[in-house]
């Protein structure tokens, strides 16, 4: 790495690009045509790259090719925005190919990949272009550094076909002496980190306005990350740990250490670690053009809290914008994150993004050691670090502070007259009813695309991840209304007790609920039985999609490819259900049928990538649910409601369920 300048695999065909000599980097120019010819030996297809006049790259080239790249660093996001604009501005695909070919060998590889991915995702004429999954392009962001030496050895010594997968141990970043390590299977899960990378790819906070201004993107920033925290806290309770505490005292050290054990293949450096009790300090890093004081975080957060309590924000021109019941959360999401849609970045600042930056430079705030950022500085790696959850707990708490100011849902806003949920049952193969079963499973990923060894060919790594037995919900609903009805079935789950083993107060439990599924149901008069498979969840994408072309069931045809990049967004199916405990973690499954008339969004969502809408939205569509995200748990309960039972109206029901973990490992099926 950097990999071959002109050779890529396109679909299953090996393609070589004939690049105009002017586009080659100076060191390759003398080689010219002979270079393409060398790579053409293996090629089944030759593509001529058209010579066009290349727009000026300016600042984009200031980021060295062997530096790390972070979207959270203002300078990096600015150059990313510029490169995205160049890619989006090309008149047609041929011109895009030309400029991309020119850029590929000059621009920082991470920046190049990010900007091109965003452009391909958003250009109408590139909807059928197939990008390799991110883990194949940059496996070093996901996999133990040790694997690469082994992979290289495997690739050079062992012929393809006889290669055996290299096993990544389940525990490699710490020992059990570190209690936080109990959560490593969640934090370091490849699918979770890929989801998070994709989410930020689909919802960039800085790019052309038409790319950023997606429907309810600020609200989705809040909701998707709120759900990550709820899921993580659920997992913590499964592991006998208390919920994550907010990182809100910036004068104190961060107790949790993290040693990522990742090497950047691009920067040829190890990702920096953080020892216990390090404190964030004022940043002054000329190289990144960052000069920011910890006090700025304080100022921004004070102003944000003031806006929440006033119920309005002030925009750049001094105008007042109210935080209305429907749109307030969206404005706040953009403001706190912040995105270019923030009403006033000068005043409310860049709280969440800069939090990532402060933490990621904790080891070298003034660049005296010439070190780059830690894992918190990159959306592909941030979720590996325990402090991610402390930072996002803090951010989420601000959103909850706002939600607490909203009018509470009245019984009328919750109930669906005539509709009663009368029974809920979970059926999971081979286990008693209302029990979820979890276990370890091993799967293989091909890393060869992200490595520049010869001879080429697949090199698989085998990793271990959580999995659950597939299950079905069987829900009985009575419709005593006059005629057929439509409803939205909303399924959530939460631990039954808090970390002390005490039943929750509703106000605390409501933010523990993780969404499992949401779908429309038709209810005839009388009794209805709804059956729904866990694999249909509106939260998840199947394993094959998370790891796309590693899999034998790779999507075929233009239609499938059109969804390719967007569809990488989605919670990994194997992480739908928390780990539970060997004795079985008592949990509560919640089902609600809400009135479809109040939920519906008039649009067609059939066909493309419409199956992970809950956390990712739907490509080029409105968010598919008109209610506030997180409904009905997104607000404080009405007066007199202290427990979940008291919260229920007839169209809701709660079933006690158990999540049982068995410490066994299912090996992968033999690959042909
Ligand atoms: Cu996804 Cu902080 O927003 O990482």
Q: What are the pLDDT digits (tens) for 450-459?
A: 666 555 677 7
What confidence score (pLDDT) does residue 558 get?
39
User: d(Cα 539, Cα 576) in Å, to the nearest integer?
Assistant: 8
Nearest-atom index, ligand 1, CA of 395: 2
Around ligand 1, the residues with Cβ closer than 6 Å are: 196, 200, 225, 352, 356, 379, 382, 392
Nearest-atom index, ligand 1, CA of 199: 1
What confidence score (pLDDT) does residue 641 get?
97
Of 170-179, 228-237, 423-432, 585-594, minimum mean pLDDT range = 170-179
Closest residue CA from atom 4 of ligand 1: 379
Name 671's Cβ contacts closer than 8 Å, sequence gap at least 6: 444, 460, 552
What confidence score (pLDDT) does residue 406 get?
97
Q: Are 121 and 204 in contact (CB under 8 A)?
A: no
Distance 244 CA to ligand 1 centre (A): 16
What confidence score (pLDDT) does residue 84 get?
94
Please determine, for residue 599, whether its predicted confidence score (pLDDT) is greater than 50.
Answer: yes
For residue 342 the two structure tokens come to 């923030």
Can you tell me whether residue 509 is helix, strand or coil?
helix
The percent of residues in the chain predicted with pLDDT above 90, rounded, is 67
Nearest-atom index, ligand 1, CA of 391: 2
The CA angle 646-651-653, to the nearest 5 degrees, is: 60
Distance 95 CA to ligand 1 centre (A): 33
Please determine, for residue 528, whether its predicted confidence score (pLDDT) is greater than 80.
Answer: yes
Q: Are 75 and 61 in contact (CB under 8 A)?
A: no
Please determine, for residue 563, whether its predicted confidence score (pLDDT) is greater than 70.
Answer: no
Nearest-atom index, ligand 1, CA of 221: 3
Given ligand 1 and candidates 392, 396, 569, 615, which is best to mutate, with the most ligand atoms within 8 Å of its CB?
Answer: 392
Q: What average pLDDT does range 335-359 have in this prediction?
A: 97
Distance 17 CA to ligand 1 centre (A): 37
Residue environment code for 245-256, b if the CB has 16+ CB neighbours within 10 A, otherwise e: ebbeebeeebeb
User: d(Cα 472, Cα 2) in Å, to the nearest integer?
Assistant: 47
User: d(Cα 373, Cα 377) in Å, to the nearest integer?
Assistant: 6
DSSP summary character for residue 394: H
Which candidate in 154, 337, 425, 544 is catalytic? 337
What confidence score (pLDDT) does residue 557 get?
40
Q: Are 405 and 202 in contact (CB under 8 A)?
A: no
**Residue among 579, 580, 573 at smallest CA distance from 538:** 573
For the stretch 165-201, pLDDT in tens is 888 888 888 998 999 999 999 999 999 999 999 999 8
What confidence score (pLDDT) does residue 565 get?
52
Name 27's Cβ contacts closer than 8 Å, sequence gap at least 6: none
For the stretch 620-671, pLDDT in tens is 899 999 999 999 999 999 999 999 999 999 999 999 999 999 999 998 865 5
Given ligand 1 and candidates 187, 225, 399, which is best to mutate, with the most ligand atoms within 8 Å of its CB?
Answer: 225
**Residue among 468, 476, 465, 467 at smallest CA distance from 431:** 468
- Whole-angstrom CA distances from 116 to 89, 122, 665 are 12, 10, 39
pLDDT tier, 216 (very low <50, low <70, confident <90, very high otherwise): very high
The CA angle 54-60-61, to the nearest 5 degrees, is: 85
User: d(Cα 587, Cα 239) in Å, to the nearest integer?
Assistant: 14
What confidence score (pLDDT) does residue 275 get?
97
**Residue among 588, 399, 581, 572 at smallest CA distance from 492:** 588
Distance 203 CA to ligand 1 centre (A): 11
What confidence score (pLDDT) does residue 120 get?
87
pLDDT higher for 505 or 23?
A: 505
pLDDT higher for 561 or 445?
A: 445
For the stretch 257-294, pLDDT in tens is 999 988 877 777 889 999 999 999 999 999 999 999 99
Give me the CATH topology for the region 179-403.
Answer: di-copper center containing domain from catechol oxidase (1.10.1280)
Can you tell me whether residue 271 is helix, strand or coil?
coil
User: Active-site residue 316, yes or no?
Assistant: no
What's the mean pLDDT when you consider all of the chain? 89
Distance 655 CA to ligand 1 centre (A): 33
For residue 360 the two structure tokens come to 């990621």
- Strands 460-468 and 419-428, bridge-based pairing: unpaired
For the stretch 28-65, pLDDT in tens is 777 766 766 666 666 777 788 888 999 999 999 999 98
User: d(Cα 621, Cα 615) in Å, to the nearest integer?
Assistant: 14
Burial of 4 (0-12, 13-18, 19+ CB in 10 A): middle
Please determine, for residue 552, whether its predicted confidence score (pLDDT) is greater than 60.
Answer: no
For the stretch 90-128, pLDDT in tens is 999 999 999 998 998 899 989 999 999 889 888 989 877
Of 321-325, 373-377, 428-432, 625-629, minimum mean pLDDT range = 428-432
User: d(Cα 516, Cα 587) in Å, to the nearest integer?
Assistant: 13
What confidence score (pLDDT) does residue 25 get?
77
Nearest-atom index, ligand 1, CA of 382: 4
User: d(Cα 63, Cα 77) in Å, to the nearest integer?
Assistant: 11
pLDDT higher for 409 or 544?
A: 409
Q: What average pLDDT does range 213-225 have in this prediction?
A: 97
Distance 379 CA to ligand 1 centre (A): 6
Residue environment code for 341-354, b if the CB has 16+ CB neighbours within 10 A, otherwise e: bbbbbebbbbbbbb
């Amino acid at each position: 790495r950097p990999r071959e300048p002109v050779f890529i695999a396109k679909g299953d065909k090996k393609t070589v690009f004939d690049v105009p000599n002017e586009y080659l980097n100076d060191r390759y120019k003398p080689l010219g045509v002979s270079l393409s010819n060398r790579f053409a030996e293996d090629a089944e297809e030759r593509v001529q790259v058209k010579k066009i006049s290349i727009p000026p790259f300016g600042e984009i080239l200031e980021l060295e090719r062997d530096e790390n790249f972070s979207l959270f660093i203002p300078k990096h996001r600015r150059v990313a925005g510029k490169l995205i604009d160049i890619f989006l501005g090309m008149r047609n695909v041929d011109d895009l190919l030309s400029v991309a070919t020119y850029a590929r060998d000059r621009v920082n590889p991470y920046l190049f990949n990010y900007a091109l991915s965003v452009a391909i995702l958003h250009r109408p004429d590139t909807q059928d272009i197939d990008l390799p999954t991110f883990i194949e392009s940059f496996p070093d962001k996901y996999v133990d550094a040790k694997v690469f030496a082994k992979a290289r050895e495997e690739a050079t010594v062992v012929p393809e076909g006889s290669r055996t997968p290299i096993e990544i141990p389940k525990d490699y970043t710490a020992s059990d002496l570190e209690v936080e390590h109990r959560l490593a299977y969640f934090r370091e899960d490849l699918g979770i980190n890929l989801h998070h990378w994709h989410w930020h790819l689909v919802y960039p906070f800085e790019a052309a306005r038409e790319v950023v201004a997606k429907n309810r993107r600020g609200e989705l920033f809040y909701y998707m990350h709120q759900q990550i925290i709820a899921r993580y806290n659920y997992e913590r309770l499964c592991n006998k740990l208390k919920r994550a505490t907010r990182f809100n005292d910036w004068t104190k050290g961060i107790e949790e250490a993290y040693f990522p054990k990742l090497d950047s293949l691009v920067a040829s450096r190890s990702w920096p670690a953080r020892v216990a009790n390090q404190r964030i300090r004022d940043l002054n890093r000329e190289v990144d053009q960052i000069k920011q004081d910890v006090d700025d975080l304080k100022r921004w957060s004070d102003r944000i809290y003031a806006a929440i309590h006033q119920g309005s924000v002030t925009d750049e021109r001094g105008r007042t914008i109210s935080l209305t019941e429907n749109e307030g959360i969206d404005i706040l999401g953009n403001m706190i994150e912040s995105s270019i849609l923030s009403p006033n970045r000068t005043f409310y600042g860049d709280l969440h993004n800069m939090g990532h930056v402060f933490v990621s430079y904790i080891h070298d705030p003034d660049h005296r050691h010439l070190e780059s950022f830690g894992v918190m500085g990159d959306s592909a790696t941030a979720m590996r670090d325990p402090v991610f959850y402390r930072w996002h707990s803090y951010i989420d708490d601000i959103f909850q502070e706002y939600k607490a100011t909203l009018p509470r849902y009245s019984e009328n806003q919750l109930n669906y007259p005539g509709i009663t949920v009368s029974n809920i049952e979970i059926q999971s193969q081979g286990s008693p009813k209302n029990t979820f079963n979890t276990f370890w499973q091993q799967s293989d990923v091909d890393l060869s695309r992200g490595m520049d060894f010869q001879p080429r060919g697949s090199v698989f790594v085998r990793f271990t991840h959580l999995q659950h037995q597939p299950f079905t919900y069987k829900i009985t609903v009575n419709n005593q209304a006059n005629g057929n009805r439509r409803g939205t079935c909303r399924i959530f789950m939460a631990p039954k007790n808090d970390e002390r083993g005490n039943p929750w107060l509703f106000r605390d439990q409501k933010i523990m609920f993780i969404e499992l599924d949401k779908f429309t149901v038709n209810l005839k008069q009388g009794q209805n039985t709804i059956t729904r498979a866990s694999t249909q969840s509106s939260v998840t994408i199947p394993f094959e999609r998370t790891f796309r072309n590693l899999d034998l069931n790779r999507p075929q045809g233009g239609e499938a490819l059109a969804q390719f990049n967007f569809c990488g967004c989605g919670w990994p199916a194997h992480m739908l259900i928390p780990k539970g405990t060997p004795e079985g973690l008592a949990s509560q499954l919640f089902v609600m049928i809400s009135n479809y008339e109040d939920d519906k969004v008039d649009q067609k969502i059939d066909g493309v990538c419409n199956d992970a809408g809950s956390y990712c939205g739907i490509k080029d569509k409105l968010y598919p649910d008109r209610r506030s995200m997180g409904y009905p748990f997104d607000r404080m309960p009405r007066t007199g409601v202290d427990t979940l039972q008291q919260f229920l109206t007839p169209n809701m029901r709660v079933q006690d369920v158990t999540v049982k973990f068995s410490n066994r490992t299912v090996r992968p099926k033999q690959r042909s």
